[in-house]
Amino acid sequence: MSILPQIIFLIIFALAGYFLYKRVAYLKRNILLGKSESRNDQPEARWKTMLLVALGQQKMFKRLIPAILHIMIYVAFIVINLEVLEFVIDGLTGSHRIFAPYLGDLYGVAMNVFEVLAIAVLVSCIAFLIRRNVLRVPRLVKTELKGWPAMDANLILIIEIVLMVAILTMNATDQLLAARGIEGYVLLNGLFFSELIQPVFSGLSDTALVAIERFAWWFHIVGILAFAIYVTYSKHLHIFLAFPNTWYSNLKPKGEIENMPDVTKEVNMMLGIPVEGADEPPAEIARFGAKDINDLSWVNIMNAYSCTECGRCTAECPANITGKKLSPRKIMMDVRDRAEEVGKSIDQGGAGLEDGKSLLGDFITKEELNACTSCNACVEACPVNIDPLSIIIQMRRYVAMEESSTPAQWNAMFQNMETSFSPWKFAPTDRFNWADQLKNEELK
């Protein structure tokens, strides 16, 4: 028996592993362009969050129809990969259906389960294509999805359809060959869905059937390896990043905005509140807020790479709903695009972060930032716990504290809050005058 197929498989497998390793290293470097941040507290709560949100798809079920379609693809992705394990072993050893002799009738049951899931993926992917391109669900056709993002979404669905068709074609021709008694092929107990398409191939010769079966096998395994690499360039990177992203979720109550430690320390010292290390000379603060990705934390950048581009955040954003330019999804896409731009520049020996561009201005405008109401609707809506508001707040801090270019109305409000402890310009002692007036009205 020739070992050439095994050698070819080993070379393809090794090349895929190498390119995947390089891509993962690139993504890790880009994510770590952000500032350090520790989020390893409350491990029990973090495990629970990851299991419920990433593994259990808890937040997906706020929209029932896409949730059902997505869960079918998700379950199939996990279970069908068990068959990929057999593909890999067969490819390395030169065997064919190596688990069949050990599992007996159970193997046929498993193959039928895989086929049911393959059909579920086909149905779901076709439904998603219709939703995007025929029904044109509003959140899936926003301006930020023009061009590559739209093509990427459609391409990944088409790839999944083709891979599932390859599985069914392989099984159909495999069983025809087994029924003809061709050596090396194992006859199983009725594969329901692939049997339905066997008549398409039944008139072919043994040689043609072997060629189709082998082509489908090679196409599927090479397609899986290529898919694994392609995912790292796609929004579907969330397949893998959803787990660490939910682990490092912000566990603080929504609405609690994190203060800047250096500013808090200075304010406490001014108010006479004891502060640890108050006698030490103050450390130099490089920048208030965030202008570029290196001012954000690595968690913020990982959030950007984890974005599914589903648009639930934008669909729930009151600013976007009322016609403002703010789109939380675009914010995350812009952060990722800037990280990619800087990463590629570094790899090419370019200027990197010193290229004369920045996240603020070249990617995200002040108009977008100022439209945010800080309501946390985007954070609540995200199925993988991404936090666009954290990025918006940090960038608005830069605009206010470094550039002093917040809108004039905001400055008046800030001044009133500083002097009168409310957004309105009246003395704190007059705050409850309205209640006295109401009481007088009642007495009349």
CATH number of the domain enclosing 359: 1.10.1060
In a shared domain, residues 116 and 182: yes
In a shared domain, residues 330 and 191: no
Domain-embedded: residue 436: no
Domain-embedded: residue 177: yes
pLDDT for 260: 83
Q: What is the pLDDT along the chain (444 residues), one digit of tens a residue?
A: 578 889 999 999 999 999 999 999 999 999 999 999 999 999 999 999 999 999 999 999 988 898 999 999 999 988 887 888 898 999 989 899 999 988 888 999 999 999 999 999 999 999 999 999 999 999 999 999 999 999 999 999 999 999 999 999 999 999 999 999 998 898 887 888 999 999 999 999 999 999 999 999 999 999 999 999 999 999 999 999 999 999 999 999 988 888 888 788 777 877 778 877 666 665 666 688 999 999 999 999 999 999 999 999 999 999 999 999 999 999 999 999 999 999 999 999 999 999 999 999 999 999 999 999 999 999 999 999 999 999 999 999 999 999 988 888 888 888 888 888 888 888 888 878 878 888 777 776
pLDDT for 285: 62
In a shared domain, residues 313 and 392: yes
Domain-embedded: residue 330: yes
Domain-embedded: residue 50: no
In a shared domain, residues 94 and 220: yes
In a shared domain, residues 115 and 70: yes
CA 77, CA 83: separation in Å to the nearest integer? Answer: 11
In this structure, how many other beta carbons lie within 10 angstroms of the beta carbon of residue 89?
A: 12
Nearest to 311 by CA among 381, 244, 359, 250: 381
In a shared domain, residues 232 and 372: no
In a shared domain, residues 184 and 289: no
In a shared domain, residues 97 and 227: yes
pLDDT for 268: 82
Amino acid symbol at 406: T
Range of the domain at 322: 261-276+284-428
Q: Are 335 and 300 in contact (CB under 8 A)?
A: yes
Domain-embedded: residue 72: yes
In a shared domain, residues 202 and 116: yes
In a shared domain, residues 212 and 301: no
pLDDT in tens, 191-208: 889 999 999 999 999 999
Domain-embedded: residue 107: yes
In a shared domain, residues 302 and 215: no
Domain-embedded: residue 178: yes
pLDDT for 279: 66
Give me 331's structure tokens.
């914010």
In a shared domain, residues 190 and 329: no
In this structure, how many other beta carbons lie within 10 angstroms of the beta carbon of residue 131?
A: 15
Question: pTM here?
Answer: 0.89
- Number of domains present in the structure of the chain: 2
pLDDT in tens, 367-411: 999 999 999 999 999 999 999 999 999 999 999 999 988 888 888
pLDDT for 424: 82
Phi, psi of 35 (to 5 degrees): -70, 155
Domain-embedded: residue 128: yes
What is the length of the chain?
A: 444
